[in-house]
Structure 1
Amino acid sequence: MNRWPWVLLLALACSGCDDMSRQAKIQPQRPGALFENGLSSRTPPAGTVARGQLQQEAIIGQRPPLTAELLAKGQDAYQTFCTPCHGLAGQGDGLVVGRGFPPPPALADARLLNLSDAQLMQTIADGKGLMAGYASRIPPAQRWAIVAHVRLLQLSQHAPLGSLPDALQHAFEEGK
């Protein structure tokens, strides 16, 4: 006996059973009669700390020591996440600018030179203007590495000629 027509008929009959989309349910942060404030969920009590928040804030608040390893990690992360917009040297001339997006500010602009490291960390995490936030994609330790690399880029574009070794000074003077 062929069972396929019965299986097909049963599947067709069950596909019309969609009671879950019409059942009563609570929509978060929407009006409801469950609590006295008229919402369907409660506001967290004052001082509530999310799981893992204290450890993350400790990492964010503690700048790691500046090492060659940190700068290498920062360069890798910068090239992955930042160069599409800011470009390799941080001039705001990344690939997306050539495709019609507005250029981001150059990282060596005076306004960005005056930002604190904490402000740079915050900008990487939350974004600013048209820049998207990267908090969900870049962990705090990696953000610190990016900040170190950005500071290195800024220093490289504002270093006085006298601070370079003699061989490099002569190479720049010959190139003029």
Structure 2
Amino acid sequence: MKAWPWALLIAVLCSGCDDMSRQAKVQEQRPGALFANGLSSRQPPSGTVARGQLAREAKGLQRPPITDALLTQGEAGYQTFCTPCHGLSGRGNGLVVGRGFPPPPPLGEARLLGATDAELMEVIAHGKGLMYGYESRIEPDERWAIVAHVRVLQLSQQAPLDRLPESVRQAFEEGDR
């Protein structure tokens, strides 16, 4: 016996089983008859704290000690999240600037040199100006690491050549030629 009649019979029988597309369903934040206020979901009660939120916020309040591992993590985070706009050097010459976006302020600008670490953390988390916030994308400990890397970039741009070791100064002077 041929297989195609059986396949046709199974296809016809299964085509009538599409009850799921017509069933009642709840869509979040849309009108519905589930609650008295006419919505299909409710807001959390006032004062509700998400699981782990307090520990996460506590991590963001205290700067960790500066270590090689922290600076390495900060450099990686900076390269991932910050270089598209700020560029590798922090001078505001990232790739998106070349594509028509307005340049961000250079990290060596006096206003940013005077900013506290907590202010930099706040900007990374919630954004400022055209920069959007990264709070949902970057954990507080990684934000601290990025702040540490930003401080390294700022120091590197403010260091006078005569204070550098001779071998490093020569490398800079040879690079200018």
Scaled by the length of structure 2, what TM-score is found? 0.78
Cross-structure match for 1:111: 111
Q: CA RMSD in A?
A: 3.0
Cross-structure match for 2:56: 56
Cross-structure match for 1:35: 35
| Distance across 2 between alignment mates of 1:12 and 1:141 | 58
Cross-structure match for 1:123: 123
The structure-2 alpha-carbon separation of the partners of 1:160 and 1:170, relative to structure 1 and needing over 3 Å to count, comes to closer
User: SS state of the match for residue 42, structure 2?
Assistant: coil
User: SS state of the match for residue 24, structure 2?
Assistant: coil
Cross-structure match for 2:2: 2
| Distance across 1 between alignment mates of 2:30 and 2:124 | 32
| Distance across 2 between alignment mates of 1:24 and 1:169 | 71
Cross-structure match for 1:47: 47
- Aligned partner of 1:106: which letter? P
| Distance across 1 between alignment mates of 2:4 and 2:58 | 62
| Distance across 1 between alignment mates of 2:102 and 2:9 | 57
Contact 2:161 2:169 in 1 (8 A): no
> 1:56-111, CA deviations, whole angstroms, 9 ceiling, x for partnerless residues?
11211121011222112211221222212211110111122223332222112233
Q: What is the 5 A alignment of 1:17-166?
A: 17-159=17-159, 164-165=163-164
Structure 1 unaligned blocks of 5 or more = none
User: SS state of the match for residue 142, structure 2?
Assistant: helix
Shift of residue 165 of structure 1?
4.8
- Structure 1 vs Structure 2: percent identity of aligned residues? 69
Structure 2 unaligned blocks of 5 or more = none
The structure-2 alpha-carbon separation of the partners of 1:3 and 1:79, relative to structure 1 and needing over 3 Å to count, comes to same
Moved more, 32-41 or 152-161: 152-161
Scaled by the length of structure 1, what TM-score is found? 0.78
> 1:130-176, CA deviations, whole angstroms, 9 ceiling, x for partnerless residues?
434333433221111001111121222234667x3574898689x8x
| Distance across 1 between alignment mates of 2:57 and 2:66 | 20
Contact 2:26 2:40 in 1 (8 A): yes
The structure-2 alpha-carbon separation of the partners of 1:166 and 1:51, relative to structure 1 and needing over 3 Å to count, comes to closer
Shift of residue 126 of structure 1?
3.5
- Aligned partner of 1:147: which letter? V
- Aligned partner of 2:20: which letter? M
User: SS state of the match for residue 57, structure 1?
Assistant: helix
